[in-house]
Structure 1
Amino acid sequence: MEFLQLTKQEFERFTQENFSHYTQSANHFEYRNENKKDVHIVGVKDENNQIVAASLLSEARTLRFFKYFYSHRGPVMDYQDKELVNFFFKNLTKYLKKQNCLFVLVDPYLVIKTHTADGQIIKEYDHQNFKSILESLGYKHKGYSVGYQPMSQIRWLSVLDLKNKTEQDLLKEMNYQTRRNIKKTEEMNVQIESLNINETERFFELFKMAEEKHGFSFRGFEYFKEMQKIYHDNSMLKIATVNLKEYLQTLDLQNENLKEEVLLAETKLKENPNSKKQKTAITNLLQRLKSSEKKMTKIKNLIETDGEKIDLAAALYVYNDHEMYYLSSGSNPRYNEFMGAYKLQGDMIKFSKEHNINRYNFYGVTGDFSDTSEDYGVQQFKRGFNADIEEYIGDFIKPIKKNWYFLSKMIAKVK
C-alpha cells in the first residue's frame, strides 16, 4: 500500500463511489484551495493502484508557528479493515509532521448505535478494534458527549432511511399528525421556491426568528452565502410561501360547494321531515360552513395587514450521492398555521427519492431524550417523519509535537 496526496478528480470519484459526509467532497476542496489555501487531500492506494482510503483535511494556525489539522468527518474508508486503518493513521502522522502540525482532530463518520426517536437502542455496531488502533497510535478519544458542543460536530443525527421505499411507503410510516400536516399544506396551496444566493436575506430573516425563539446564536449571514459558494451545485436554499389571495379563492370555492350541499340536504329533509340522518347532516354542514366563513374572514384580514404573499419557512440543504442534509432552517411563528416546515420536508424527501438519494438527514439532535431536553420540540418534529437517531463515535485528538502541545495546554490553563 502507498500513502500519498490525491488529485481532486481521484478524490471526487472515490467519495462518489463510497459512503461519505458532504464535507468530504471535491467542491469543498476546490473552494478552500482557491480561497484559503488551507486544505489537503490524502489517501491510500493498494497494490493494484486502486484508492482504498481518502480524506480531506483542513489546517489552521495555532501558537503562531504551528498548525492544527481537522478531518471533516473523515477519513473515507473501511473502518473494519484493521491493516488499512493502521497503515493510514501511521502514515498520516508522518505526513502531518512534515506540515509542522501541532495536533490533529479526527471525527470519523462512523455510527456506533442506532436509536429510536425515544432513545431505545435498535442496533449496536462493534468498532472497538478501530478505537483500539487509534488509541495505540497516540489518539485520545474525547468521550461520548450529549448535547451541542461548541468545538465539535454534533454526535447525534436524526436520519430517515429512504432506501427501497416508495413515497407512499414513507408517508404511511410517518405519524398521523405529520402526514395530516403535509396534506394540509397542499390544501392551503403552500408552495416551495428556490432562492438564489442574492436572495439569501429572505432565508436569513426567517433563520434569525428561529434563533430568537430558541435563544441561541449559531451563524452569521456571510456563513450561509459561503456555504452556497462552497457547495454551489449541491446546495439549495428553499423557502415555503403562501399566496393568500389564491388560498382565499380556494376557500371561496369550498364555501360555495358547502352552500350547495346545505341546500341539497335541506331539500332532502323537506322530502323526509323526520329523517335524523338529514338533520344531522345539515347540522354538520352548517358548522363546516361557519368555520369556513370564519377562516375566510381571517385570511382577508391577514391580506390587509400582511400582504398577499407571505414567507413561511426556509432551509439550507446540502446533498451528495449518498445523503440529503437539512442543515439550517427558520420560520415565522406568526404563520405556524400554514405549516411551511412540513411542506419543505415533504418536498425535499420527494426530491431525494427522485434523485436516488437513500438517506434524508435531518441532522443534529442533542442525544438527550427526556421531555426536558433543550431540543425537545425539534426532536418531536423530526420524530414525526419516522427518523431514527444515529449516534456517532465522536472525536479523537492526537498531539503531533507532544512537548509543544502539552505546553500550550498548560498556558491555556494559566490564562
Structure 2
Amino acid sequence: MFEFKIGVTANEHDKFVQNHPLCNLLQSSSWAKVKDNWGSEIVGVYEDGILIASSLVLIRPLPLKFSMLYTPRGPVMDYTNKELVAFFLKELKKFGKKHRALFVKMDPTIHYNDFHLGEEKTLNPQAQMIIDSLAASGAKHQGLTMAMDATIQPRFQANIYKEDFSDELLPKSTKKMMKQAQKKGVTVKMGHTELVDDFAKVIELTTERQNISLRNSEYFKKLLNIYPDSSFIMLAEVNLKERYEETLQRYEKNKADLANLKENQVKKRHNLEELDFSLTREKNELEENIARSGDVAVVAGALAITFGSTSEILYAGMDERYKRYMPAYLTWYDAINECFVRGCDSCNMGGLEGSLNDGLIKFKSNFNPTINEFIGEFDLPVNGLLFKASEYAYKLRKQKK
C-alpha cells in the first residue's frame, strides 16, 4: 500500500535520488537553496515504510495568491510502475491544491532517444508507454519540442559517459587542438571560490560575445558554497610574460642568424625571413596582450558540480581574444576528466537545440558525447478552470523572454 508524505528529509531524499537511475543534480535537496527565490518542499511515496518515489518541488507565487509548482528533472520514481505513477500524480495534485497551484510542471529524466552524432538513434522502447501513463494519470504532454528555449530545461543534451571518454577515443582533431594549446603555453588549474572572480570575468566576456545572459560572480560563489565538496572550477591561463621572453629570445637569435648569412644562402634566407615575419607578429601580439591582460591572462574556464554518479558542467566560457590558443579544449577535457576521477559515470556538457545544427554541438562533438533526448515537459492541471488561461499566460511570458 502506498503512503504519500510531505516533508521527506533532505538526507533521505538525497540518498534515494543519488542511487536512482534517474539521478539528477536538479533533484538534489540543495537545489532549493540555489533557487531560493522559489518556495520548496520535498514530497515522496513510501511502500511498506520504504521510500520508492521522491521529488523536490519548487513553488513559485503567482498573482492573486495563486502559485505554480515545478519539479525540476523529476519526480524521481519507477515510471514503468503505472500504479505508482497514478498515485504520485494524484497526491501531487492534492498537494498543489494546498498551495493554490494552477498546475504542476514536470520534466523527468526519461530518455526518448540516445545516439552518437552520425549514428542511428536508439529509441527507448518504454518511452511512449511512460508518456501515455503520465497522460492517463492527468498530465498534459507539451510535446517533443525542438527549440532549446521551448522548455525550462533543454530537451536535448550532450552527455559524456565514462566508457566513451579516453585519450584513445578522442577524435584526432581534438587531440591536435589540445596539443596546440599546450604548445602555446596554456595551463589549467583547478580551484574553488578563490577562482570565482577570474572565472566570472571570462563568463562576462562570453555573454557579451554571444549576447546571452548567464550569471555573475555572486551567483557562482553561491553555487560553490551550496555544494562545497562536490563543485570545482577549472581555469585556463597563459603566462604571457614567460611566453614573451621565450619569443623575444627566438626573435633576436633569428635576427642574428639572418645578419650572419652569406649571400648565396638563398633558401635559408627565405626560411629565416618567414620565421622573422612570424616571430615579429607573435612578439607584437604578446606586447598588446600583456598591456591589456597583465603578465598572466585567464583565457577560459568551466564550473562543474557532481551529484551521485552524475555531473554537470553548468557554466563555461572563453576569452575570444585568445581563441588562437585553443584553451577551451584543455579546460573542458580536464573538467570532464575530474568528474570521472571523482567517481561519476556521466558528465553533462549542457543543452542543445533539437536541430543539432547550432554552434554548441560543433564544439561539444569534439569529446564524443552521447545525445540524450528526453520525453519533454508535462503539466499536471490542479485548478481545472484556470489552467488553460494560466497555460496561455505562461507560454506568452516565455515568448517575451
Shorter-chain TM-score range:
0.7 to 0.9
Match of 2:283 among 266, 273, 297: 297
CA RMSD of aligned residues (A): 3.4
Which residue in 1 is equivalent to 2:368? Answer: 386
SS at 2:187 equivalent: strand
Q: CA deviation at 1:411?
A: 7.7
Matched, 1:16 2:18: yes
Which residue in 2 is equivalent to 1:277? Answer: none
Which residue in 1 is equivalent to 2:223? Answer: 227
Q: Contact between 2:302 and 2:335, CA under 8 Å: does it hold in 1?
A: no
CA gap of 1:68–1:366, structure 2 versus 1, over 3 A, is same
Q: Contact between 2:251 and 2:280, CA under 8 Å: does it hold in 1?
A: no
Percent same amino acid among aligned pairs? 27
Alpha-carbon distance between aligned partners in 2 of 1:414 and 1:289, rounded to the nearest angstrom: 59
Alpha-carbon distance between aligned partners in 2 of 1:28 and 1:248, rounded to the nearest angstrom: 45
SS at 2:27 equivalent: coil
CA gap of 1:60–1:189, structure 2 versus 1, over 3 A, is same
Alpha-carbon distance between aligned partners in 2 of 1:158 and 1:285, rounded to the nearest angstrom: 45
How far does the alpha carbon of each residue in 1:349-370 deviate from its partner, in whole angstroms, 9 at most, with x for none?
Answer: 2212211211121111101134
CA gap of 1:151–1:58, structure 2 versus 1, over 3 A, is same
CA gap of 1:291–1:24, structure 2 versus 1, over 3 A, is farther
Tell me the amino acid that sits aligned with residue 201 of structure 2.
E
Which deviates further from its counterpart, 233-242 or 128-137?
233-242
Alpha-carbon distance between aligned partners in 1 of 2:361 and 2:93, rounded to the nearest angstrom: 39
Alpha-carbon distance between aligned partners in 1 of 2:253 and 2:120, rounded to the nearest angstrom: 51
Q: Contact between 2:234 and 2:334, CA under 8 Å: does it hold in 1?
A: no
Q: CA deviation at 1:244?
A: 1.8
SS at 2:149 equivalent: coil
Which deviates further from its counterpart, 397-406 or 203-212?
203-212
CA gap of 1:250–1:37, structure 2 versus 1, over 3 A, is same
TM-score normalised by structure 2 residue count: 0.83
Q: Contact between 2:4 and 2:88, CA under 8 Å: does it hold in 1?
A: yes
CA gap of 1:365–1:407, structure 2 versus 1, over 3 A, is closer
Alpha-carbon distance between aligned partners in 2 of 1:399 and 1:229, rounded to the nearest angstrom: 36
Which deviates further from its counterpart, 4-13 or 236-245?
236-245
Matched, 1:191 2:173: no
Describe how 1:215-294 pairs up with structure 2 within 5 A. 215-219=211-215, 222-248=218-244, 293-294=279-280
Q: Contact between 1:315 and 1:330, CA under 8 Å: does it hold in 2?
A: yes
Q: CA deviation at 1:121?
A: 3.5
Describe how 1:400-415 pairs up with structure 2 within 5 A. 400-408=382-390
Q: Contact between 2:305 and 2:313, CA under 8 Å: does it hold in 1?
A: yes
Match of 2:356 among 369, 372, 378: 369
Matched, 1:310 2:297: yes
Q: Contact between 2:238 and 2:299, CA under 8 Å: does it hold in 1?
A: yes
Tell me the amino acid that sits aligned with residue 21 of structure 1.
N
Q: CA deviation at 1:104?
A: 0.5
Unaligned runs of 5+ in 1: 263-279
Aligned residues: 384
Q: CA deviation at 1:347?
A: 0.9
Matched, 1:60 2:45: no
Tell me the amino acid that sits aligned with residue 310 of structure 2.
E
SS at 2:30 equivalent: helix
Matched, 1:345 2:348: no
Q: CA deviation at 1:103?
A: 0.8
CA gap of 1:347–1:98, structure 2 versus 1, over 3 A, is same
SS at 2:196 equivalent: helix
Q: Contact between 2:146 and 2:155, CA under 8 Å: does it hold in 1?
A: yes
Which deviates further from its counterpart, 209-218 or 338-347?
209-218
Q: Contact between 1:63 and 1:408, CA under 8 Å: does it hold in 2?
A: no
Which deviates further from its counterpart, 237-246 or 35-44?
35-44
Matched, 1:323 2:310: yes
SS at 2:362 equivalent: helix
Unaligned runs of 5+ in 2: 258-266
Which deviates further from its counterpart, 18-27 or 180-189?
180-189
CA gap of 1:410–1:361, structure 2 versus 1, over 3 A, is closer
Which residue in 2 is equivalent to 1:267? Answer: none
Match of 1:357 among 344, 368, 388: 344
Alpha-carbon distance between aligned partners in 2 of 1:400 and 1:200, rounded to the nearest angstrom: 42
Alpha-carbon distance between aligned partners in 1 of 2:389 and 2:86, rounded to the nearest angstrom: 28
